[in-house]
Amino acid sequence: MLDPLRLTVLAVAGFLAGAVNGVAGGGSLISFPTLLAMGYSPVAANVTSALATLPGYVGGLVGYRDELGTVRPKVRQLAAVSVAGAACGSAILLGAPAEQFRSIVPVLVLVSVIALALQGMVAGRLDKARAAGGGRGLLIGQFAVSMYGGYFAAGLGVMMLAVLGAFVAADLHRLNALKGALSLLVGSVSALCFTMFGPVEWIPVAVMSLTGLAGGRSGVVLARRVPPRYLRWLIVGAGLVLSVALFIR
């Protein structure tokens, strides 16, 4: 059992992770390092964070229920590649040596942050693909980011938002609704694999899931009031700090 202080830290981290996922993605860049700081191994922290952030996506989707109706065709279009990518990524994580995962974590965090920072520039260069609904490039990109999400839960929302923003012509709120639905799908596939085969820490999952559900709904409210570019750069800044800390460690 965890002491009250650790339970409080987990509860706050779960709420903040859910809120950030509701805003623009990247909430697992809060939950994952929190679990690392509490002494869990990188693999255990990764799979536990993946399960703990699922309710936050649900809370976010409730807040974006109006926008969700407009992006349902895209959800159906991308569902199959998302499931396949998540299954591949989860299988790679569970089958690879734990030490290999530990060494690549700082790089994965840095990649996810850079992707979010460059989203606007990439989108500007892909206007033709966006006008065509994304085409084959969207399917390939979504498969790749879903495989990334199945392998490394931290940064999934950031990476997915970057891919969707590059290929789908929609405002940030609709992109967030689409990202939330697909992230929930990817996370559910990964959660099933991790529950059966991964080193899940169930007490942190329970605590962070409950507060993450409330955080996801609160994040949507915040996203509607704060300019998206400020929130995006806030996440980028926090991610860069985390990446540097992991490299030093």
3-state secondary structure 65-105: HHHHHHHHHHHHHHHHHHHHHHHHHHHHHHHCCHHHHHHHH
Q: Of the candidates 128, 88, 123, 109, which has an alpha carbon nearest to the alpha carbon of residue 46?
A: 109
Mean pLDDT of 105-125: 70
Report which of residues 159 and 132 the model is more confident about: 159
pLDDT at 21: 72
Cα–Cα–Cα angle for 56, 88, 81, rounded to 5 degrees: 70
Q: pLDDT-based confidence at 133, cuts 50/70/90?
A: low
Mean pLDDT of 100-126: 71
- Given the structure tokens 């929190």, which residue do they identify? 34
Contacts 24+ apart (CB under 8 A), 102-107: 102/41, 102/42, 102/43, 105/42, 105/152, 105/246, 106/243, 106/246, 106/247, 106/249
Please count the other Cβ atoms lying within 10 Å of the Cβ belonging to residue 227: 9
- Given the structure tokens 């650790």, which residue do they identify? 6
Question: In the structure, how many helices (H) and strands (E) does the chain have?
Answer: 13, 0
Residue 131 has pLDDT above 60, yes or no: no
Residue 129 has pLDDT above 70, yes or no: no
Max mean pLDDT range (12-21, 62-71, 135-144, 232-241) = 135-144
Q: pLDDT-based confidence at 122, cuts 50/70/90?
A: low
Mean pLDDT of 182-201: 89
Q: pLDDT-based confidence at 84, cuts 50/70/90?
A: very high
pLDDT at 212: 85
Residue 135 has pLDDT above 80, yes or no: no
User: What pTM does this model have?
Assistant: 0.78
pLDDT at 24: 61
Q: pLDDT-based confidence at 124, cuts 50/70/90?
A: low
pLDDT at 228: 61
Report which of residues 79 and 123 the model is more confident about: 79
Please count the other Cβ atoms lying within 10 Å of the Cβ belonging to residue 100: 11
Helix (H, G, I), strand (E, B) or coil at 42: helix
**Mean pLDDT rounded to a whole number for the chain:** 80
Residue 142 has pLDDT above 60, yes or no: yes
